[in-house]
Amino acid sequence: MAPPGYTPMAPPGYAPMAPGYAPITVPPAVPNSIALWATILTGAYAAVSVLGAVTAPAMVEQLKETLADPQNASPFAGQSIASVLSIPVAIASFVLLALWMSKIRAARTAHGEKIGGPPAVEWWGWFVPLANVVLPFLGMRAITKARVGMGVLLGWWLAYIASTAISIAAVVPQLTAIDLSTGKLTHPEALDPIVGLMWGSAIAMVISWVFLAMIIRTTTRRESELS
């Protein structure tokens, strides 16, 4: 029991809260550095696509040799530096882009804006079969509304979808070049269109990246002006 008249001492730095006091919240910082790296890494992925198109003729010739004599083919036949780089660069670019999108979402929410759209779709929307044709676009539209026009957004997304579709189509010649019952190469000339398809995919990816870079720059600059 404390003696009469004793008043306990407050800990150092303590300040009593006044009635009606509300803590000051600091809005999230504008992700300028993340925006820069998201632009660089998504650009690197587009560059890898171009590199894949440049090396496509050599890759097709190796593929012909592999299908003609699969038992004696090297396990690395048909591989190129582009195919080796594509996976780590794709993962890195996805992480930085999704991180940038989530930071913009958080910044706008902290300003009292209602973003809408599927929550955190920038992280999971890419992996939902069929729905991933629209989910990432809806997420980008939600965080960039009143910042970026619909034409720029469609330029980014439609070119990306076109690049992906052409890339998938590049697999079809491999099925028509072989006899599916024996697995032997019967029509090697059917593999030649792969080169043109890879160039088409690469060009579409570069176009998509140009629009994406515009989206990132415009949205980030706008958030910087409002902070």
Ranges of each domain in the chain: 32-226
Closest C-alpha among 172, 157, 89 to residue 126:
157
Region 15-31: mean pLDDT is: 53
Q: Which residues contact 170 (CB under 8 A, 6 or more apart)?
A: 194, 197, 198, 201
Q: Measured between alpha carbons, how far is 169 from 163 in angstroms, rounded to an integer? A: 10
Q: What is the pLDDT of residues 34-71, one digit of tens each?
A: 999 999 999 999 999 999 999 999 888 888 887 777 66
Beta-bridge partners for 178: 185
| Kind and range of the H or E run holding 196 | helix 193-226
Amino acid at 172: V
185 strand-pairing partners: 178
Summarised one tens digit per residue, pLDDT across range 122-132 is 999 999 999 99
C-beta of residue 53 within 8 angstroms of C-beta of residue 199:
yes
Give how far Cα 135 sits from Cα of 1, 53, 176, Å: 65, 28, 33
Helix axes 150-169, 135-144, angle to 10 degrees: 160
pLDDT band for position 83 (50/70/90)?
A: confident
Tally of CB atoms within 10 A around 77: 17
pLDDT, one tens digit per residue, over 181-190 is 776 778 888 8
- Radius of gyration of the chain measured on its C-alpha atoms: 26
**What is the rounded CA–CA span in Å between residue 108 and residue 140?**
13
Residue 129 has a pLDDT of 94
Q: Using CA atoms, how far apart are residues 52 and 58, in angstroms rounded to an integer?
A: 10
The token pair at 27 is 């809005």
In whole angstroms, what is the distance from residue 158 CA to residue 166 CA? 12
Within 10 angstroms of residue 17's Cβ, the number of other Cβ atoms is 8
What's the pTM value of the predicted model, to 2 decimals? 0.81
φ and ψ at 114, to 5 degrees? -95, 110
- Of 73, 78, 76, 75, the closest CA to residue 58 belongs to 78
